[in-house]
């Protein structure tokens, strides 16, 4: 018989410090993620965030979620994002994932959303009849360097064996490519705006964010941006924990940038680099400055040896879709966000939701 154990925010710290957690062969959450969940400014102590399936005292599967809030028509809506689903291989297709899904739906009153999904997870969600597509976003991925040693090994065991060879291919090609970048960099104009890296969000920046997120559905603020920075899910230090989701990267950096014109603050954004892959989780900048920002972005990518950059921000997609000599290749992308039908039926104008690339767990992974 399968039993489901549920862990609330108020119980999470004790759980990850317990002998029970230490003795689990497969951990349902890393300690880094646990600390992030505990300090999530949109969570409360009674939120159930971990659902663990046991059979004869053996962990056979788990689901994790984290709390968030929507603000639509001046009304606040609490919900949770799916952020981890795993079943031990020999128990897959036995109904464990469905059982855990049903428990999450019950405890969160069908106030749930998901994106960044594995295909198998998506199939289970949609087969339940509880979810529908909320928003579909078009994006663009731009390749600057080879990164085969990172991209290919997870796809096939043969590539894992060949990883040293792939690393050599990356190194040889990218060494040559650096000479191309040096030549092209001379033809990229210097941006007119000032792009300033900041270590923390000051009062002026905080006020700018507040004044410019009135039309954004999640209304992230300084407290949450500081939380993202202070409680990461991934570290450059290898972890010994047997956890089946991301917790290590060979290089990782989150950069907070303010944009100024004649000493006036006109923008704020976050750059997130992981294993030389770049995203922009949060982006506040007037459309008139987008062209200037792409000049800064190109120089940043060359300097930081970015392998590829992905964005779903409409203004950036439009600007970067223009002919660019810098990129080896461009590839159209598409991502979808799904919500419980209960949310779609009961939250007015939910279909008009505005999402930034960092919404859900994308700011962390």
- The pLDDT tens digits for 302-332 are 999 999 999 999 999 999 999 888 999 999 9
- Closest of 51, 29, 217 to residue 134, by C-alpha: 217
CATH number for the segment(s) 139-336: 3.40.630
User: What is the DSSP track for 282-338?
Assistant: EEEE-GGGHHHHHHHHHHHHHHTT-SEEEE--HHHHHHHTS--SS-SEEEEEEEEEE
Do the beta carbons of residue 140 and residue 168 sit within 8 Å? no
- Closest of 117, 95, 90 to residue 26, by C-alpha: 90
Model pLDDT for residues 76-119, shown as the tens digit of each residue: 999 999 998 999 999 998 999 999 999 999 999 999 999 988 88
Same fold, 2-129 and 139-336: yes
pLDDT of residue 178: 85
pLDDT of residue 215: 60
Q: Where are the domains of the chain?
A: 2-129, 139-336
Longest pairwise C-alpha distance within the chain: 67
Distance in Å from the first CA to the final CA of the chain:
34
2-129 falls under which CATH superfamily?
Gcn5-related N-acetyltransferase (GNAT) (3.40.630.30)
Report, as ranges of residue numbers, the positions in the chain whose pLDDT lies below 50. Answer: none
Q: pTM (2 decimals)?
A: 0.92
Written as six digits, the tokens of 3 are 């039993």
d(CA 229, CA 227): 5
């Amino acid at each position: 018989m399968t039993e489901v154990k549920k862990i609330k925010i108020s119980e999470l710290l004790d759980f990850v410090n317990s002998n029970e957690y230490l003795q689990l062969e497969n951990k349902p959450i890393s300690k880094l993620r646990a600390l992030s969940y505990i300090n999530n400014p949109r969570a409360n102590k009674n939120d159930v965030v971990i659902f663990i399936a046991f059979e004869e005292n053996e962990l056979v599967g788990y689901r994790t979620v984290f709390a968030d809030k929507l603000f639509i028509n001046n009304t606040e809506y609490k919900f949770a994002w799916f952020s981890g689903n795993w079943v031990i291989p020999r128990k897959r297709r036995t109904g464990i994932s469905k059982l855990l899904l049903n428990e999450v739906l019950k405890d969160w009153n069908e106030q749930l959303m998901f994106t960044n999904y594995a295909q198998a997870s998506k199939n289970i969600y949609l087969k339940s009849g509880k979810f529908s597509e909320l928003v579909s976003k078009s994006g663009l991925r731009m390749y600057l360097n080879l990164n085969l040693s990172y991209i290919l090994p997870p796809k096939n065991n043969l590539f894992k064996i060949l990883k040293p060879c792939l690393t050599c291919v990356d190194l040889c090609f990218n060494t040559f490519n650096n000479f191309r970048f040096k030549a092209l960099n001379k033809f990229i104009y210097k941006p007119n705006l000032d792009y300033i890296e900041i270590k923390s969000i000051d009062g002026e920046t905080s006020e700018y964010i507040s004044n410019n997120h009135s039309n954004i559905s999640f209304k992230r603020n300084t407290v949450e941006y500081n939380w993202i920075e202070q409680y990461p899910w991934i570290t450059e230090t290898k972890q010994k924990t047997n956890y089946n989701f991301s917790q290590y990267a060979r290089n990782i950096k989150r950069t907070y940038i303010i944009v100024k014109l004649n000493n006036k603050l006109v923008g704020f954004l976050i750059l997130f680099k992981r294993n030389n892959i770049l995203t922009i989780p949060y982006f506040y900048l007037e459309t008139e400055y987008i062209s200037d920002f792409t000049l800064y972005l190109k120089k940043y990518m060359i300097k930081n040896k970015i392998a590829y950059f992905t964005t779903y921000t409409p203004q950036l997609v439009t600007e970067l879709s223009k002919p660019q000599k810098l990129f080896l290749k461009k590839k159209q992308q598409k991502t979808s966000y799904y919500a419980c039908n209960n949310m779609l039926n009961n939250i007015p104008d939910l279909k008009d939701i505005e999402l930034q690339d960092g919404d859900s767990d994308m700011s962390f992974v």
